[in-house]
Amino acid sequence: MSKTTPEYHILSLSGGKDSTALALLIKEKYPEIHEQIEYVFFDTECELEETYDYLNKLEVFLEKPIKRIKPEKSFDYLYSMYKFLPSIRFRWCTIYMKTETFKKYMDSKIKSGCSKIHLYIGIRADEPERIENYQSKNLESEDGILNTRYLLAEEGFFEKDVYNLLETTGIGYPKYYDWRSRSGCYFCFYQRKIEWIELLERHPDLFEKALRYEKNAGKNFTWCQDMSLEELKQPETVAKIKAKHQEKASKHKEERQTLFDTLAVNDVDKTCLFCHK
């Protein structure tokens, strides 16, 4: 009698609200999947400490470990090789630290002889364009082994439902949502200027580290598209950016009074697929 090859269930966590809500949904509503699933986090080692704290907290709620998977080459190694900063035009950080790491992890499962990999992605029902974006990346394998599921969308979860789930379970939002609109590396080039200022004030050591990367890359390369971090951190610039942000925030008062609500978070779908979910 031939031995049946296993099926794997994998949820890629980003440390963000949606993938966290998906993990909690699976635990509560799909216990048979939760029992088998591997919760994984592709760790660049450049995340905010709030992200790591939140993942540690999530492990307690899930009552299962989250597997940390690191890339073969660190950011510093890749930076020394490229000698310029990653950017919207060339996201080498995402390619080599997230996407390639993900592919190698999937390949290791396939080589182990599995018959099917069920990959769960935290995309909501109010984000159909993000599902299309994922599908356009050809995540599905031609041999049918990789099967991608969007359970939040299937269950009709909107952003308010994600919020309610995180609040009712007691885990709440990651602390970085107090000042940042997305998960990801502390130097993410998708950050808005107000978020860079928040990084400067909350994590000055990380801001200075990002500034050193920028200086070493030369004057033609900056994290922000139109200004260097050296310029951005000047008191007069900080004051102007804060004033502009406050003016915008006053026009977008919502039920939850955090930075997350006042930013135009709908353009998160334009960002890195494996970083922000």
pLDDT, tens only, 170-215? 999 999 999 999 889 999 999 999 999 999 999 999 999 999 999 9
Band (pLDDT 50/70/90 cuts) for residue 64 is very high
Percentage of the chain with pLDDT > 90? Answer: 71
Mean per-residue pLDDT for 36-64?
Answer: 97
The model's confidence at residue 77, banded by pLDDT at 50, 70 and 90, is very high
Lowest mean pLDDT among 64-78, 111-125, 151-165: 111-125
Question: In whole angstroms, what is the distance from residue 57 CA to residue 52 CA?
Answer: 9
Q: Give the chain's mean pLDDT.
A: 88
The β-bridge partners of 146 are: 117
- What's the rounded Cα separation, in Å, for the pair 61 and 63? 6
Mention every residue, 6+ apart, whose C-beta is less than 8 A from residue 9.
33, 36, 37, 38, 118, 120
Give me the half-sphere count of Cα atoms (radius 13 Å) on the Cβ side of residue 69: 24
Looking at residue 141, its pLDDT comes to 52
* Coil vs helix vs strand at 268: helix
pLDDT of 9 strictly over 50: yes
If we measure between CA atoms, which residue out of 86, 48, 91 comes closest to residue 223?
A: 86
Instruction: Locate the DSSP E strands across the chain.
Output: 7-13, 38-42, 66-69, 116-120, 146-149
DSSP state of 271: S
Contact indicator for 96, 73 with CB cutoff of 8 Å: yes
Question: Pairing mode, if any, of strands 66-69 and 7-13?
Answer: unpaired
Which sequence spans correspond to the domains of the chain?
A: 7-178, 193-269
Q: In 10 A of CB 229, how many CB atoms?
A: 21
Question: Is the full-model pTM beyond 0.75?
Answer: yes
CATH of 7-178, one of 1.10.357.10, 3.40.50.620, 3.30.930.10, 3.40.190.10: 3.40.50.620
10 Å Cβ neighbour count for 254?
A: 10
Q: Return the structure tokens found at 195.
A: 């978020």
Instruction: Specify the pLDDT at position 218.
Output: 81
pLDDT, tens digit, 9 for 90 and up, residues 215-274: 999 878 999 989 999 999 999 999 999 999 998 888 776 544 444 444 443 344 445 555
Q: Is 25 exposed, middle or buried (0-12, 13-18, 19+ CB in 10 A)?
A: buried
Interval 78-108: pLDDT, tens:
999 999 999 998 999 999 999 999 999 998 9
> Whole-angstrom Cα distance, residue 152 to residue 133?
16
Within 8 A by CB and 6+ apart from 172, the residues are 166
d(CA 262, CA 246): 9
The predicted-structure confidence for 143-180, as pLDDT tens digits, reads as follows: 678 889 999 999 999 999 999 999 999 999 999 999 99
Tokens of 33: 């999947």
Model confidence at 136, in pLDDT bands (50, 70, 90)? low
Of 58-67, 107-116, 121-130, 233-242, least confident by mean pLDDT is 107-116
Residue 138: pLDDT band with limits 50, 70, 90:
low
Per the CB < 8 A criterion, the answer to whether 44 and 73 are in contact is: no
